[in-house]
Every structure is written in structure tokens, then in C-alpha cells.
Amino acid sequence: MIRYKQLVTYKVINKETGEIMGNILDVIYSEDLKKVNYLVVKSKNLIKNKAPISYEDIQLLENHQALYLKDSKIFRKKLEEDINEGFKYIDKEIRNEDGECIGYVKDVVINKLDGLIEGFIITEGVFEDLFKGRNYMPLFENTIIEEDCIFISNKDLN
């Protein structure tokens, strides 16, 4: 497992040369928002400096680096593409099906191997964090993810 906030600190390494190609800036989720499809990599270029790289084309290493497994020419072509980064989980409100606020997403737990979203690190507020720490909430099958918040079934909360 890897957390989103850790993933966006990784550097992307060219497998052919060992050179740093750029830093992971963000992720792009699948249409159902339950998987990371692409990593947005920021290169050193001044203009056209972001490229979407398929999660399948990356191997995450233990030393805060990601090895880019494809040809670097493909990466340079992708720098020309426009990126719509879209949906953000961080600070998204989580509610039960009665509309009551359960907490807010502070981090996303991602399966390193396939990019599936496993769950969330949530906060219930500053004082709760200080006294109890933050909680982990798995991404349940019945979870409904919308633009303004995430809805968890009451039966999943019991």
C-alpha cells in the first residue's frame, strides 16, 4: 500500500538512462473514481511540462522513486497533451446515508500493484485527531463517490 501524499513526493526515473524525468504531481482517477489510471508527471520544461503516464507503465520503488518502464520518446510526446486533472479526494466530506458528516478525507490509501483505491485516512476534527488519532475507512463496494462528497452506507459503518 502507498498513500497519495507519499506518492506525490516520488521522482520518476527513466529506466534507460537512470535520469530523473520529473516529479509526480498528481493522479488521475478512473471514471468510477476507484482506481488510479494515470500519474501526472511534471518535467523540468518551462512550457508543456506535465504529462499523464499510465499507472501500468510505472514501477514504484522503495526509495521514493518510480521507474518509468516505457520508451522516453513516448513521455516526450505526452508532454504535448492537455491534462484534465479533475477529481480530488483530499478534504472531501464523508457522510452516512442520513447525510450526517462522518469526517473528511486527509489521505488516500492506494494498492501499489494495481492502483486500486483501498480506503481513506479520515479526520473528524482537530481535537479528535489529537486525542484519538486519525481513522482508516476502507472503500466499501457500496460507497457512492460524488463531486461534493462521499456517501457510506449505514450498514458498512456498523
pLDDT band at 46 (very low <50, low <70, confident <90, very high): low
Q: What was the pLDDT predicted at 119?
A: 93
Query: What gap in Å lies between CA 95 and CA 72, rounded to an integer?
Result: 43
Q: What was the pLDDT predicted at 58?
A: 87
**Mean of per-residue pLDDT scores for the chain:** 84
Whether residue 151 has pLDDT greater than 60: yes
Query: What gap in Å lies between CA 64 and CA 11, rounded to an integer?
Result: 7
37 and 115 Cβ atoms separated by less than 8 Å: yes
Q: What was the pLDDT predicted at 118?
A: 95
Query: What is the model's pTM?
Result: 0.83
> Cβ–Cβ contacts within 10 Å for residue 8, how many?
14
Query: What gap in Å lies between CA 40 and CA 98, rounded to an integer?
Result: 36
Q: Where are the domains of the chain?
A: 2-78, 93-157
pLDDT band at 125 (very low <50, low <70, confident <90, very high): low
pLDDT tens-place string over residues 128-144: 555 566 688 888 888 88
CATH for the stretch 2-78: 2.30.30.240
pLDDT tens-place string over residues 71-115: 777 777 666 666 666 789 999 999 988 888 888 999 999 999 999
CATH for the stretch 93-157: 2.30.30.240
Sign, CA torsion 46/50/51/57: positive
Q: What is the mean pLDDT of residues 20-42?
A: 89
Q: Tell me whether the CATH fold assigned to 2-78 matches the one assigned to 93-157.
A: yes
CA-CA distances (angstroms) from residue 114 to 52, 120, 139, 154? 17, 17, 15, 28
34 and 116 Cβ atoms separated by less than 8 Å: yes
Choose the weakest-confidence range: 6-10, 128-132, 149-153: 128-132
69 and 57 Cβ atoms separated by less than 8 Å: yes
